[in-house]
Amino acid sequence: MSAVLPPIVVDVLTGFLGAGKTTYLRRLLDAGALADTAILVNEFADLPVDQRLVGATGSLTAVLAGGCLCCAIDGDLKEGLLGLIQQRADGTVPPFARILVETSGIADPAPVAGTILGDRQLQARLRFGGTVTVVDLLNVAETLATQEEALAQIIAADRIVLSKGDLVDDARRAEAVAAIGAINPLAPIVDAEPRPGERLNPWRTIGWTTPTAPRRAAFQAVAQAGDRHNGLGALVLTWPEPVDWAVFATWLSALLHRHGARILRVKGLMRIAGETERGPVVIQGVRHVVYAPEHLADADDVVGAEFVMIVRDLDPALIRRSFEAFMALGQRAGETQRGARAS
């Protein structure tokens, strides 16, 4: 019997035209931070890496008729990913554990997750990792004011990397950081220049594996953030008890079905009633697309649910009311079941 291979993790590198994605990629490769990673680039570039591990995706902008962008299955990307999986299986490329997809500068990165999660051939073999967005400090204000894709790239980010920091003064940098944080308070913001000796793959640090401090800091930032532009809003939803999964899944799926285009991000942790010995699950979604929830072993501080939503043109207070009404419904159902068992 052959061993079941763990899924390959697919990461995304995005950023607007001229933001410095390829420069950042070269820097990571030079530092040896992407040693076990195959790369799908939007346009072929002469990268300092085994060229067998570099493929091209074409433009990540295809949208199927009747579909929305976040759910579109990108044929070029699918072929690129399947090609790499096959070559790894054949042994014609060095073994790799991750695939990094560099999007086009004018692409919304959401279809990458949609392609992986919505395609039968891909979903069994791949797992979506996270998104790093390169933001050009020199042009960020103008780009955000005029380019919807740049906004989508920041909203999708799990980590923001600032480029061209040497070309702006501290005041302008602080202004840009505040503007980015107001759009996506969940993503840590770091400099493109790595610290001396830094060889860490930045995508490996994404997620909730170091739970309490960064998570709480991000949630606090959401709670304290002031006015946002373009109708954007963010809210933190919490529940003090383990959550009835059927109730939560019913609520979130109905909410995304009706309002998915305006629910830009969902990210958080929750402990599930009846599954408390397995640790909390990570809930992550970009618009309609929800990633397969995974149990997390090392977040013992999570008792109930705590997660963030970034929304557009929706009333955060109404979402909170709806969430709490459904969670209370689950709690009442749980109490009824426990009462029935006890009697």
Partner 1 sequence: MCGFCGSFSERHWSAAPVSGARPTLARLNVAQIAGRLTAAGGVRLVAWGDRFQLTGRTGRTALAANLSEIWQATDRLGKAIDPLDEALLDRLEAGA
Interaction of residue 71 with partner 1, rule CB under 8 A: yes
DSSP string covering 249-297: HHHHHHHHHHHGGGEEEEEEEEPBTT-GGG--EEEEEETTEEPPPEE-S
Cα 107 from Cα 179, distance rounded (Å):
21
Contacting residue, 18, 61, 275, 312, with partner 1 by CB under 8 A:
275
Beta strands in 74-191 (DSSP E): 98-102, 126-136, 159-163, 189-191
Binding segment toward partner 1, per CB under 8 A, in 74-82, 196-204, 220-228, 257-265:
257-265
Nearer to partner 1, 64 or 178 (CB): 64
Q: Which two tokens stand for residue 262?
A: 């305006």
**CA gap 216, 212 in Å, rounded:** 6
Q: Does 123 bind partner 1 (CB under 8 A)?
A: yes
> Is residue 161 involved in binding partner 1 (CB under 8 A)?
no
Task: Measure Cα distances from 8 to 48, 100, 126, 172 in Å.
Answer: 22, 10, 5, 39
Stretch that binds partner 1, among 10-18, 19-27, 167-175, 240-248 (CB under 8 A): 240-248
CB of 318 to partner 1, least distance (A): 5
Q: Does 317 bind partner 1 (CB under 8 A)?
A: no
200 binds partner 1 (CB under 8 A): no
DSSP type of residue 211: -
Asked if 125 interacts with partner 1 (CB under 8 A), we say: no
259 counts as binding partner 1 under rule CB under 8 A: yes
Please say which residue, 173 or 262, places its beta carbon nearer to partner 1.
262
Q: Answer yes or no whether residue 128 interacts with partner 1 by CB under 8 A.
A: no
Nearer to partner 1, 151 or 281 (CB): 281
Residues in the chain, total? 343
The span of 80-88, 161-169, 172-180, 318-326 binding partner 1 (CB under 8 A) equals 318-326
Q: What is the CA radius of gyration of the chain?
A: 21
Query: Helix 170-183 to helix 148-155 angle, to the nearest 10 degrees?
Result: 80
The percent of the chain in helix, strand and coil, each rounded to the nearest 5, is: 40, 20, 35
Binding of partner 1 by 229 (CB under 8 A) = no
Structure tokens at 162: 């600032």
**Contact characters 9-48, partner 1, x per CB under 8 A:** ----------------------------------------
Nearer to partner 1 among residue 123 and residue 205 (C-beta): 123
Measured from the CB atom, the residue of 321 and 338 that comes closer to partner 1 is 321
CA dist list (Å): 7 to 78, 122, 129, 318: 15, 10, 11, 38
Residues at the site binding partner 1, with contacts judged by CB under 8 A? 64, 66-68, 70-73, 114, 117-118, 120, 123, 244-247, 249-260, 272, 274-275, 281, 285, 288-295, 314-315, 318-319, 321-322, 325-326, 328-330, 332-333
